[in-house]
Structure 1
Amino acid sequence: MDIGTLVEQAREGRPRAVARLISLVERADPQLREVMAVLAPLTGNAYVVGLTGSPGVGKSTSTSALVRAYRQAGKRVGVLAVDPSSPFSGGALLGDRVRMQDHATDPGVYIRSMATRGHLGGLAWAAPQAIRVMDAAGCDVVLVETVGVGQSEVEVAAQADTTVVLLAPGMGDGIQAAKAGILEIGDVYVVNKADRDGADATARELNHMLGLGEAREAGAWRPPIVKTVAAKGEGVDELIAALEKHRGWMDEHGHLAVRRRRRAAQEIQTLAITTLRHRVAQNQLDALAERVACGELDPYTAADHLVAAVTA
């Protein structure tokens, strides 16, 4: 199908067209350059919210609750749910998205599962372009749910306008939150499953840990802590309010534009590095590796030779 027609159909809200565009992204189709060129003027309107946290804190349930709230507000919603890859088939283990089946027939919601395919950091390598497709397709909000790999899952902060970190009582999250990485990326913190014992203590510990962070400048954003029971829809309105407050603060202080420029810069850098990696001749790399291994050449000089070869 003609790319222009496919993009037009995606803008009309046809899920099959959106699916085909994202499939082009995932398999790095030769037509992808043409697709991105057509999409470029149509992007920049969606509010991207990333949701991360340890397995079992209720990310999928919280995502589903946010979808319901945004749909009640009349917004079109895209969901990119990143799942762990099977080491055997390469597919997503949780691709059925059982917890989001309530929205499967809603034409105003597009849900896409995407396998990590070995990519670390909580997202799939194709996630930035998939977000761009959903943005261009007219989604007002794009929710990005990470794979749930633990404390190193911080890549979502580079892709989202607002990052939500979820915790739950009884899972040792008070200690987990104190560790570098997950404590530093949150714009909004959520203690989900707040009807369980220990929810108040988890919120207090988290608040204490946030207070131990670096001194903030006057007017700087202070991440709020919201308690929810996503399975029952409790606290979701407060979470939406916290997200909108953060978005307003970013608009007021110019941080939203800065984050989006940073996101674009990282996307460009990743694509450039990938292109250079593909241009590296394996036989040339093997020859340099042999010289380094036998002590004939140091790795820095070998790297210079390789860079010179691919940029000549």
Structure 2
Amino acid sequence: MDGHDGDADTSATTAELRDVDAELVADLLDGSHRALARVITRIENRSPGYRGIVGALHEHTGGADVIGVTGAPGAGKSTLVDKLAAAYRERGDTVGVVAVDPSSPYTGGALLGDRIRMASNVGDMDVFFRSMSARGQLGGLSMATADAVKALDAFGKDTVIIETVGAGQNEVDIVRTADTVAVLVQPGSGDDVQTLKAGILEIGDVFVVNKADMDGADRTLAELEEMVHRRESPTKGLDTGHHGFETPDGPDDTDAETDSEANADRPTEWTPDVLGTVAKTGEGVEALIDAFDAHAQYLRESGTLDRTQRERYAEEIRTLVRSDIGSLATAAIDRRGGIDTLAERVRRRETDPYSVAAAIVDPIASCAGDDDETVTGKRDDAATDDRGIGRDDE
């Protein structure tokens, strides 16, 4: 099997690790940066056996705080991540950085032009930096990114920072990997702030107006403050002194005792911070790290972290299953002459798309133990029932 077929490498379980892979895992866990780099390369290339390696590392994960930094191009993400890494090192934390770059339309590789802005930590072995290709993913993330984060986590990094491609609302998939998400906005970005209203506002745990020394920064900060508090409650006052833990009805209700009793069993909610930074000088970086720490504490103490991790792993399982079944279906299509051949048969009215799909999927469903009714039949029934359209008797 070549690297291209790595995603179909379903046979490599932890128990079946080859000796060379088991040695690689052991070296990574012993703190070898060379082994860490080799593992991430295997992950990014989806090389044969990579799934077994990631599976073996899984039990050693869970110790790192994973922070996502996203925002529109030009917001200063790379410079800010560089300063964040340096600040974490100053307090004694080890850091891993995964910078997800746009993919070249010709080679599929990452475009690394912005990496020159991450030079201040060069030579520090406790800052491990890796630039990865977005692999064509709309949100700038791929499954390889999540697996690379696991490798850094298992290695023992205290903090892992993911810097994503600036791709607008499609960045929302970062929540599937990061525990805390920082959304960067440039001063005077009226259009960007409007875009936030359309979706990306929902994912931010901290909002950052970078380049806060520029004209328009105060206005952008105020707009974000208003948006954050409207997200929490359309009727809430705009007093921004509150931070962190908050009940859904807010802390300023008139009948405090009644609200206290009513809110006793309600989960607390996180009110995102809105901060200004000047990444070039490092201004505001310490306050930003404090906000990250506060959010991490909130996740642990509120029980939100357990819930989000379950949701994250559920989505990961679904993604892997869909990918594997898709690979099986693609192989089945190839065995039948390829998609162009099948499409030509449909064009000639020799068959129809539903029959072709059933011929491909039914054997897979049968192997999965679905003996009573084919998956395609179930979907067909569900679709017609939803529309209220009956099916012809067969």
Shorter-chain TM-score above 0.5: yes
Q: Which amino acid aligns with 1:237?
A: E
Q: Which amino acid aligns with 2:83?
A: A
- Mapped to 2, the partners of 1:191 and 1:288 lie a distance apart of 53
**Equivalent residue pairs, number:** 310
1:279 and 2:328 aligned: yes
- Mapped to 1, the partners of 2:363 and 2:86 lie a distance apart of 53
Q: How does 1:1-312 map to 2 (within 5 A)?
A: 2-94=20-112, 97-172=115-190, 173-178=192-197, 180-213=198-231, 215=233, 217-218=248-249, 219-280=268-329, 281-283=332-334, 284=336, 286=339, 289=343, 294=349, 297=352, 299=354, 303-312=357-366
- Mapped to 1, the partners of 2:275 and 2:135 lie a distance apart of 33
Which consecutive residues of structure 1, in runs of 5 or more, have no partner in the other structure? none
Contact 2:78–2:114 (CA<8 Å) still a contact in 1?
no
| 1:292/1:210 CA distance change after superposition, 3 Å | farther
1:60-106 CA-partner distances (Å, limit 9, x unpaired)? 11111110111111111110000001111221111671111221211
- Mapped to 1, the partners of 2:50 and 2:189 lie a distance apart of 42
Over alpha carbons, which structure has the higher Rg? 2
| 1:270/1:163 CA distance change after superposition, 3 Å | same
Which consecutive residues of structure 2, in runs of 5 or more, have no partner in the other structure? 1-18, 234-246, 250-267, 367-394
- Mapped to 2, the partners of 1:230 and 1:134 lie a distance apart of 25
Structure 1 stretch 150-159 or stretch 290-299: which is displaced more?
A: 290-299
Of all paired residues, the percent bearing the same amino acid is 45
- Mapped to 2, the partners of 1:113 and 1:95 lie a distance apart of 11
Contact 1:122–1:154 (CA<8 Å) still a contact in 2?
no
Shift of 1:31: 1.4
Contact 2:188–2:219 (CA<8 Å) still a contact in 1?
no
Q: Which amino acid aligns with 2:313?
A: A
- Mapped to 2, the partners of 1:175 and 1:77 lie a distance apart of 33
Greater RCO (CA < 8 Å, at least 6 residues apart): 1
- Mapped to 1, the partners of 2:128 and 2:113 lie a distance apart of 14
TM normalised by structure 1 equals: 0.92
- Mapped to 2, the partners of 1:85 and 1:225 lie a distance apart of 31
Shift of 1:139: 0.8
- Mapped to 1, the partners of 2:108 and 2:300 lie a distance apart of 40
Structure 1 residue runs of 4 or more that deviate by more than 6 Å after TM superposition: none
